[in-house]
C-alpha cells in the first residue's frame, strides 16, 4: 500500500472531480490523506480518504462570491496554510502528492519536500497564447494591485523554502511529470500539441446515488430546461426573474437551481412550469434535460456533455469566459454575455439550441469522446503507473 496526499482549495469546482478519483485509488488499495477545510470533510470521508483539516483565508470570500481574481489570492493563502500542514505532511511521509493548479501551497510543499507530484486540472489548460493570453492580460489589468502583491508574496515564499524564483503566471502554468486534465483532448485548444506528460481523462463522474427529496416526476411530460449558475457566483435575482419571463407558461419543464444566497420568496411568483431549488441532483437532472443554461464551469459543462446535452453559456468568473469561447467554437451550444443578456436573447438562444439539430449532434459526438477519455478510472491508472515509476519516498528532513 502506498501513501498519497491530495491538496486542494475549498471550492466545489475544484474538488468535485477529485472525489471519484480518490475513491478509485482507495478501492485499489491506496492510503490517501486529503487536506481540505472542515466544510468538505463529509465528501472526503465518503470518498474513503483520511481527512486532515486546515483553515483557509479565502473560504469566506468564496462563500460570499467576492473572491475577485482568485489566483492572485493564492500566494497569501499559501503563506497561511503551509505552516499548518508542514509537520503533518512530514509525519505522513507520502509517496506522492496530487494537487490542483490553484493550490499553490500544494506545489510549494511538494517541491520543498521533494515528493513526486501529480497536477490535477479540473478544467482545460490555460496556455499563454491566443484567447488565453488575452484573458490573462485583461485580468492582470483588472486586478493590478492584487497581482503586484501576489508577486511579492511568491518571491518571499519561494526564497523561504529554498526554491528558484518565479512569478504568479509561472506558478499557475507549472507542469509536473504527470498532468491530469478533466476534459477530452478535443475540447482542449491545441490538444494535439500536448505531449505524453498530459493525460486528458475527461470528466471525473461517479454516480452519487442520492437525489434526496427532489421530485424527478416534475420532469415528465415535456422537454426539460435546466438552469444553474453553479455554487458560488449565483446571487443574481434579476437573472432568475428573466428566466421566469422567458420561459414561464411555455411547454418547458424548467428546473432552476438558485444556490443558497437567494431568497426565492423575493423573486416574485414562480411560474407553474418551474421547479426552483437551492440545489438539485445535477447528474440525474441532466439525464432528462434537453438544454442546459449554465455558467460554464468545467464540471458543469463536462457533466452536460457526458449526457449529450447542448448548452447556453453565460459565464460569470474565472476561466468560464474561455470555456464559453470553446463551446461556441465547437458548436456545442451558444454563449451570451452576463452584462448584456436580455429576456429575448435568453429565450431565442434556448430555442435555437433546442431546435437546430447540429447542436445536439455535436454534443453527442462530445459525449462519445468523454466516454472514450476514461474518466476517474483512467486518472487512477495514470497515478498508479506514475507512482510505480518513482523511487521510494525521500522527504527532506
pLDDT in tens, 32-87: 999 999 999 999 999 999 999 999 988 766 555 555 567 888 898 999 999 999 99
First-last CA distance in the chain: 23
pLDDT in tens, 90-132: 999 999 999 999 999 999 999 999 999 999 999 888 766 556 6
Q: Read off the pLDDT band of 173 (50, 70, 90).
A: confident
Asked whether this chain's domains 3-202+374-389 and 216-372 adopt the same fold, the reply is yes
Locus of grid cell 451550444? 333
3-state secondary structure of 231: coil
So what CATH class is 3-202+374-389?
A: alpha beta
Q: CA 203, 207, 209 angle in degrees (round to 5)?
A: 155
Q: 3-state SS of 328-369?
A: HHCCCEEECCCCCCCHHHHHHHHHHHHHCHHHHHHHHHHHHH
393 DSSP 8-state letter: P
3-state secondary structure of 299: helix
Highest mean predicted confidence (pLDDT) among 131-140, 218-227, 257-266, 332-341: 332-341
Identify the sign of the CA torsion 319, 325, 331, 336.
Answer: positive
So what CATH class is 216-372?
A: alpha beta
Residue 394 has pLDDT above 60, yes or no: no
Q: Read off the pLDDT band of 397 (50, 70, 90).
A: very low
Neighbours of 238 (CB within 10 A): 8
- What are the structural domain ranges in the chain? 3-202+374-389, 216-372
CA–CA distances in Å: residue 358 to residues 153, 343, 345:
48, 24, 20
**Which ranges constitute the DSSP H helices of the chain?**
12-15, 18-27, 41-46, 59-64, 74-92, 104-113, 130-142, 144-160, 168-172, 237-247, 282-286, 298-306, 320-329, 343-355, 357-373, 375-389
Amino acid at each position: 500500500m502506498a501513501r498519497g496526499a491530495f491538496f486542494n482549495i475549498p471550492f466545489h469546482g475544484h474538488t468535485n472531480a477529485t472525489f471519484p478519483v480518490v475513491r478509485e485509488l482507495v478501492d485499489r488499495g491506496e492510503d490517501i490523506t486529503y487536506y481540505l477545510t472542515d466544510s468538505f470533510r463529509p465528501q472526503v470521508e465518503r470518498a474513503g480518504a483520511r481527512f486532515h483539516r486546515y483553515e483557509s483565508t479565502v473560504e469566506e470570500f468564496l462563500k460570499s462570491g467576492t473572491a475577485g481574481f482568485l489566483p492572485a489570492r493564492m500566494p497569501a493563502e499559501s503563506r497561511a496554510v503551509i505552516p499548518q500542514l508542514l509537520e503533518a505532511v512530514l509525519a505522513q511521509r507520502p509517496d506522492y502528492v496530487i494537487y490542483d493548479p490553484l493550490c499553490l501551497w500544494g506545489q510549494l510543499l511538494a517541491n520543498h519536500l521533494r515528493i513526486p507530484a501529480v497536477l490535477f486540472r479540473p478544467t482545460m489548460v490555460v496556455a499563454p497564447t491566443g484567447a488565453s493570453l488575452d484573458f490573462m492580460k485583461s485580468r492582470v489589468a483588472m486586478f493590478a494591485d492584487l497581482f503586484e502583491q501576489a508577486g511579492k508574496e511568491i518571491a518571499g515564499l519561494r526564497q523561504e523554502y529554498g526554491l528558484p524564483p518565479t512569478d504568479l503566471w509561472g506558478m499557475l502554468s507549472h507542469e509536473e511529470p504527470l498532468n491530469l486534465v478533466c476534459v477530452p483532448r478535443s475540447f482542449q485548444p491545441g490538444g494535439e500539441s500536448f505531449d505524453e506528460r498530459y493525460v486528458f481523462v475527461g470528466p471525473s463522474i461517479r454516480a452519487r446515488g442520492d437525489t434526496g427529496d427532489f421530485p424527478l416526476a416534475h420532469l415528465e411530460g415535456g422537454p426539460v430546461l435546466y438552469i444553474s449558475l453553479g455554487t458560488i457566483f449565483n446571487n443574481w435575482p434579476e437573472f432568475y426573474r428573466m428566466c421566469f419571463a422567458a420561459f414561464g407558461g411555455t411547454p418547458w419543464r424548467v428546473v432552476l437551481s438558485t444556490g443558497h444566497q437567494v431568497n426565492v420568496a423575493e423573486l416574485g411568483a414562480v411560474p407553474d412550469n418551474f421547479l426552483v431549488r437551492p440545489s438539485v441532483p445535477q447528474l440525474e437532472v441532466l439525464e432528462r434535460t434537453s438544454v442546459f443554461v449554465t455558467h460554464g464551469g468545467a464540471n458543469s459543462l463536462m457533466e452536460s456533455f457526458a449526457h449529450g446535452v447542448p448548452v447556453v453559456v453565460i459565464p460569470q468568473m474565472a476561466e468560464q469566459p474561455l470555456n464559453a469561447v470553446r463551446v461556441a467554437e465547437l458548436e456545442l451550444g451558444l454563449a451570451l454575455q452576463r452584462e448584456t443578456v436580455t429576456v429575448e436573447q435568453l429565450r431565442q438562444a434556448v430555442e435555437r439550441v433546442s431546435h437546430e439539430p447540429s447542436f445536439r449532434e455535436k454534443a453527442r459526438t462530445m459525449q462519445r469522446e468523454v466516454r472514450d477519455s476514461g474518466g476517474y478510472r483512467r486518472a487512477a491508472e495514470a497515478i498508479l503507473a506514475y507512482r510505480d515509476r518513482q523511487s521510494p519516498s525521500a522527504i527532506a528532513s
